[in-house]
Amino acid sequence: MALLSVALLAGCATRADFLQVQKDQREVRALVADQQVAVEGLRRRLDIMRNEMSEGGRRAGGGGTPSDVRQQLADLESRMMALEQARGVVAPTPPSSATPAPEQPLVTSRPPEVPPPVVPTPTRPPTAQEAALSKEEAALTGRGDADYREALGLIRQGQCGPAIPKLRDFIRKNAKSDLADNAQYWIGSCYYSQRDYNRAIIELNEVLLKYPKGDKVPPALLMLADAFADSGDKIDARLILQKLIADHGRSEEADKARQKLQALGE
């Protein structure tokens, strides 16, 4: 009980401390039980010896009790008194309801938790299509063409299915617009992103046929060469790249065409 009281008053006892107190209590109970058995045994032996002494004295004609028997009786009485005193020192423990339940250990104080450092997520560089879309959307600042903007937004979201008919409708309604060749280019780009290379070749070739002076001719040639190469036709891919370099040698696409020619083994 003294150990348990100290642990409770301290307010920071661990589960190991509580289990040790329980172990000490069990040992005390066992000691008290052993002493109880010993006291009861001595008491029975004393009663038996007293009866024997009384009967022996009567049989001996009142001659009294032998000295050795009296000495044994005195020794037994001394041992019993010692055990009785020990029982008074070792007090039984109170009911277990006075102690906290094992499953509810006393809570110790914890240091404040430090949040982990925030690691910035590395940004992915934009793809060639995303870069082209951003460039074109920036060029549309201050202009109308809401339908065309909407189609570009769908392409950015990866929704080429609904974007293609919107682009075709825009070309039909705005055939003379400076964005008509752009719309035709993005139709071919959609099919290329879907890996429908044959359809992409047809649609990109329309840019060259219908809008030969448009600003989308160099990127259309570059994507056209990629479509041929990805479909396994490296010969036509090289011819398209050579035409791009010859006709638009100062363009950004021409620099990329030179790198692709080296990769194809010019």
Summarised one tens digit per residue, pLDDT across range 36-95 is 766 677 677 767 777 776 766 665 555 555 566 567 667 767 776 776 666 554 444 444
pTM for the whole structure? 0.55
Q: How confident is the model at residue 208 (pLDDT cuts 50, 70, 90)?
A: very high
Provide the pLDDT for residue 117: 74
pLDDT beyond 80 at 207? yes
Provide the pLDDT for residue 19: 75
3-state SS track over 206-242: HHHHHCCCCCCHHHHHHHHHHHHHHCCCHHHHHHHHH
Vertex 212 angle, CA 216 and 185, to 5°: 35
Domains of the chain: which residue ranges?
A: 2-98, 128-264
Architecture of the domain made up of 128-264: Alpha Horseshoe (1.25)
Q: Which residues contact 183 (CB under 8 A, 6 or more apart)?
A: 148, 151, 167, 168, 170, 171
Task: Please compute the mean of the pLDDT values over residues 229-255 and round it to a whole number.
Answer: 95
Tell me the backbone φ, ψ of residue 261, rounded to 5 degrees.
Answer: -65, -40
Q: Which residues contact 247 (CB under 8 A, 6 or more apart)?
A: 221
Provide the pLDDT for residue 90: 47
Which residue has 């974007």 as its token pair? 163
Tokens at residue 95, please? Answer: 């009911």
Task: Please compute the mean of the pLDDT values over residues 123-140 and round it to a whole number.
Answer: 83
Q: Could you say which DSSP state residue 12 is in?
A: -
Q: How confident is the model at residue 116 (pLDDT cuts 50, 70, 90)?
A: confident
